Amino acid sequence: MYRLLIVDDEEIITDSLYEVFHRLMPEALDICRAYSGKEALNWLSRTRIDIVLTDIRMPGMSGMELSEEIQAYWPRCKIIFLTGYSEFDYAYKAIQMPGVRYLLKTEGYGKVTQTVQEVIEELNHGIQMNQLVERSREQSVTLEFMAQGDYFRHFLLDSHHFSKNQEMLVKEFEALKIVLDPKLPVVLVLGRLSYPEGSGYTEKNELLASARMIWNSFMTDQTRSIGIADKHGDILWFLQTSQGTEEKFHLHFMRFLEGTLELIQEACQASLGLMIGFTISGASCEWGEVTPKYERLRQLQQLKIGDGISIIQVDRSEVFDSSPMKEGFVLSHKAGSMEAHLEAGRAGEFFEELEELSQSMLTPYGNAQRTIEAYYSVSLVLLSYINRLGLHGRIDDHGRLMRLDDHASMKEGFHYLKQIAESIFAFKSKDERDRASHIIERICQFIGEHLSEDLSLVRLAEIHYFNPSYLSRFFKQEHGINLSEYIDKCRIRKAKELLGDADLKVREVAAFVGYEAAHSFTRFFKKATGLTPQEYRDTLSLTDSHYT
């Protein structure tokens, strides 16, 4: 979903365009509106904007001045100038700007909507895989990437130890041609791909490489990043802003990142048919803190809600324990794979791995010590998960996980592990459904109590700590209708209730349900009910008199 921002100091034009696009393409566009350049800047700082439809001449900040700010915030944003002035100098200046269109207000809504649709097609075309691959092929960094990946996978085991000698860290970064600065903090982004069922190793590697290409094509010259595949098959990116980047972009970096990740998700879906979820560190961290920060992102990623949705989560925790990670047991490759399946909620893959492991261990000629080690490796995976999520009182009989002697046989022990795992997956599934239901209920309650306020997708996402695009998809998945459609239904229901009060003027009812302009409310109400507010009120009066 793309985000369109309409900017005009004439309220009737802004509201009319908002209603036109809201009605015309609710699935393709999330519509925002602003009545001044200053108000538009607030939107630009809060969320990704893909298209700006703006008056070129406005008091305070002109459309031309606003366009410079747009490029600083969202370099890929497309601009359409809409104005009643046809003077040559304005048109000439607008035409000279790359990727900018110029329309006269006298050309009508049809021309405006046609132009916006053309821009949407242009944006869609820009994320086609063939173009992205061509750009990425110019970066012949395969060998460097492999060396950097090996280095960072070791780095993740104990970043505190690696970072003690900063001089050595600088030399290693230079030797491996790592574009990041080891003296500056770094932002982490963990990406998890939802591979097609039955994908083999080769196919997964190809999809992983393609996702990395798409990432590289969307990150602008204002950022620098390196992405590696971690031991669980996820992609971990390390990011910093580029040297010489303006202070404004530094302050805006996290918003820029979150908005750009939405585009990367859409490109992966459109080009690869692949969903990818992202978990972002809410703030940068020192290199010595990378290991615990990475572990935290992995834990947050498993707490996602909404099945089959490309999520974007931001770690908004203000307190972060930067102490070095304690040493633990080193799990076998098989146990590590099972741990990844457990955290990602892949029950089928987990039990397949467990079955293969138990069959290979439980043979007449099996090595007893290796079988014991295998049992405890899986036990540790399960126990660690139970501890992290605080499931001690919810998973029955988990106390025998670390007591192999409590089982009559090794076969019974592995059967017990399967039962515990089944209980964990069952709880995980129920917990995700319960949390989803609770969040939807909370959002619906907020909407019902704040109908007179701004209920834009961006604001609702900010209040409930969601990414806007994810909130839109999640709400429709869980509730069955679009969020904007639900808000409209609530406003109509409340408006009908208030119109029954003869002491309230129509403009007061309009304000109660979020419409500052009575004429906009009238159009909205008639479209939904077939009657104007006054006509609806008259029908109520006739009904009352009939029963009197």
Print the SS3 string covering 192-259: EEECCCCCCHHHHHHHHHHHHHHHHHHCCCCEEEEEEECCCCCEEEEEEECCCCCHHHHHHHHHHHHH
Is pTM, for the whole model, over 0.75? no
Could you tell me the strand order of the sheet in which 312-315 lies? 223-229, 235-241, 187-194, 275-281, 312-315
pLDDT value at residue 320 = 43
* Residue entry with tokens 């031309």: 64
pLDDT value at residue 96 = 62
pLDDT value at residue 187 = 95
Tokens of 73: 């915030």
Tokens of 156: 């993740």
CA distance 61 to 15: 20
Low-confidence ranges of the chain (pLDDT < 50): 130, 138-141, 318-332
Whole-number CA gyration radius for the chain? 28
CA distance 59 to 81: 15
From residue 90, give the alpha-carbon distance in Å to each of 8, 9, 183, 251, 458.
16, 18, 46, 32, 32
DSSP three-state, residue 97:
coil
* Residue entry with tokens 């809060």: 46
pLDDT value at residue 6 = 94
Tokens of 544: 């009352």
pLDDT value at residue 208 = 86
281: β partners: 315
CA distance 320 to 43: 30
3-state secondary structure string across 420-468:
HHHHHHHHHHHHHHHHHHHHHHHHHHHHHHCCCCCCCHHHHHHHCCCCH
Helix 468-479 × helix 247-272 angle, to 10°: 40
Contact 100, 133 (CB under 8 A): no
Question: Residue 254 — φ and ψ, nearest 5°?
Answer: -65, -40
